[in-house]
Amino acid sequence: MKVALATLEAPLTPCGRGGEGRGGGVIKVGIVGGTGYTGVELLRLLVQHPDVELTTITSRGDAGVAVSDLFPSLRGRVSLKFVDPAEAPLTHCDVVFFATPNGIAMREARGLLEAGVRVIDLSADFRLTDVATWEKWYGMTHASKELLPEAVYGLPEVNREAIRHARLVANPGCYPTAVQLGFLPLIESGCVDCTTLIADAKSGVSGAGRKAEIHSLFAEASDNFKAYAVSGHRHLPEIRQELSLRAKAEIGLTFVPHLTPVIRGIHATLYARITREEDFQALFEHRFSSEPFVDVLPWGKHPETRSVRSSNICRMAVHRPQGGDTLVVLSVIDNLVKGAAGQAVHNMNLMFGFDECSGLTQVPILP
């Protein structure tokens, strides 16, 4: 069924929608692992949130250091010091964000949940529902298998209602966010071949985290462009799992990530073979017409990563090269915001009944 364009000419949906959560007051927030790029991005967003009181920020290596000494950008906004996780009063929080490497949240989430604290995990510990698949791709034994059925995959554009009532949210990865949103309308409508999908995706170097590694050194990453993990990337099973749920069948996906010499941004070029004619532009505009953080550009436009820099927006555009049987979707996000911290704050807003856009209305930075 084709969707009429007449009702789809509005710009990005304004916020103001509350949830069905508890709402109605300031909540106490803790962050485990606050010294990485995702951690400082969480801090930047949360200090601008009207309903949040930051109470605890942990770091083993920087315990006792003032947050503003490590991150001068937060001077005058965050007066806390980093504390050792073993001494942090996390059970006194209403919600705790894990901005930690894989393997940490799965060992600590259970105790927080038992204490009545809600958990939003930005690592991959609770994203995959199949334990064997998770252990294969992440190379360790899962420490909280019993929590996997409860964890809600935190892509608001798909699981909004489940997120509202969740105790434990698995925040999606950055590549999976850009890729899923771009494919979503096509898979849900059943108008493309779901066995031959291709995702050609590029990420800035901040996606690798704030750690000293040779491949992310300036002399290595600057003035260079390369593919990596072509044989299999950890985000592949996550994307396949979630898109298969939308398709109600196993999907076939070739996913190739690339490293680009930029700091922020993901650009996903997505290919799908058309099996049924649609007004594809109308299809995308209708699917995302009520989504505050998805912007469907006019047909044939080319979204740029800098157009979403430091914002929680996913911008996309649809193409049909030479009128052929292949549809091309361009999807761009800021990997640290919509691909991580911003999406986590969006999930928190849903869980606690706040306006969905609270703390997330920043206009993208240009240049």
Give the pLDDT confidence of 53-65 residue by residue, as tens digits: 999 999 999 999 9
Q: What does the pLDDT read at residue 147?
A: 98
How many CA atoms within 13 Å lie on the side-chain side of 352? 28
Measure the CA–CA gap between 264 and 205, rounded to whole angstroms. Answer: 7
pLDDT at residue 100 tops 70: yes
Q: Are residues 38 and 58 in the same domain?
A: yes
Q: How far is CA 255 from CA 166, 180, 239, in A?
A: 30, 12, 9
Look up tokens 């070029």; give the residue: 269
Same domain, 122 and 49: yes
Domain count, the chain: 2
Task: Please indicate, yes or no, whether residues 242 and 290 belong to a single structural domain of this protein.
Answer: yes
- Specify if 20 maps to a domain: no
In a domain, 308, yes or no: yes
Lowest mean pLDDT among 64-78, 207-221, 287-301: 207-221
Output the CA angle 294-7-354, nearest 5 degrees: 45
Same domain, 143 and 66: yes
The region of weakest confidence among 8-17, 95-104, 146-155, 357-366 is 8-17
Q: For residue 79, with 0-12 CB atoms within 10 Å meaning exposed, 13-18 middle and 19 or more buried, which class applies?
A: exposed
Mean pLDDT of the chain: 93
Average pLDDT estimate for 125-130: 98
Provide the pLDDT confidence category of residue 309 given band limits of 50, 70 and 90. Answer: very high
- 3 pLDDT more than 50: no
Residue 156 shares a structural domain with residue 41:
yes
Judge whether 16 lies within some domain.
no
Assign 14 a pLDDT band (cuts: 50, 70, 90). low
Confidence of residue 6 (pLDDT cuts 50, 70, 90): very low
Task: List the domain range (segments joined by +) for residue 126.
Answer: 27-171+339-351
Average confidence (pLDDT) over 10-33: 71
Indicate which CATH number applies to the domain containing 58. 3.40.50.720
209 belongs to a structural domain: yes
In this structure, the answer to whether residues 34 and 158 fall within a common structural domain is yes
Q: Work out the average pLDDT over 119-137.
A: 97
User: For residue 18, what pLDDT is reported?
Assistant: 61
7 lies in some domain:
no
Asked if 329 and 347 sit in the same domain, the reply is no
Q: Residue 208 has what pLDDT?
A: 75
Tokens 């993208």 identify what position? 364
Asked if pLDDT for residue 22 goes beyond 60, the answer is: no
242-275 per-position pLDDT tens digit: 999 999 999 999 999 999 999 999 999 999 999 9
Domain assignment of residue 367, yes or no: no
Residue 24 confidence class, pLDDT cut points 50, 70, 90:
low
Question: Does 345 lie in the same domain as 309?
Answer: no
**Of 152, 157, 159, which is closest to residue 13 (Cα–Cα)?**
157
My answer on whether 157 and 201 are in the same domain is: no
- Rounded Cα gap, residues 79 and 54, in angstroms: 10
Q: What is the mean pLDDT of residues 115-138?
A: 97
289, part of any domain: yes
Report the pLDDT averaged over residues 188-197: 98
Do 142 and 218 share a structural domain? no
Rounded to an integer, the average pLDDT of 35-61 is 95
Q: Is residue 93 situated within a structural domain?
A: yes
The answer to whether residues 330 and 347 belong to one domain is no
Q: Are residue 68 and residue 194 in the same domain, yes or no? A: no
How far separated are the first and last CA of the chain, in Å rounded?
Answer: 41
SS3 letters across 149-193:
CCCEECCHHHHHHHHHCCCEEECCCHHHHHHHHHHHHHHHHCCEC
Instruction: Tell me the catalytic residues.
Output: 174
CATH number at residue 313: 3.30.360.10
C-alpha closest to that of 238 among 205, 191, 199: 199
Cis? peptide before 367, omega within 30° of 0: yes
Percent of the chain with pLDDT over 70: 93
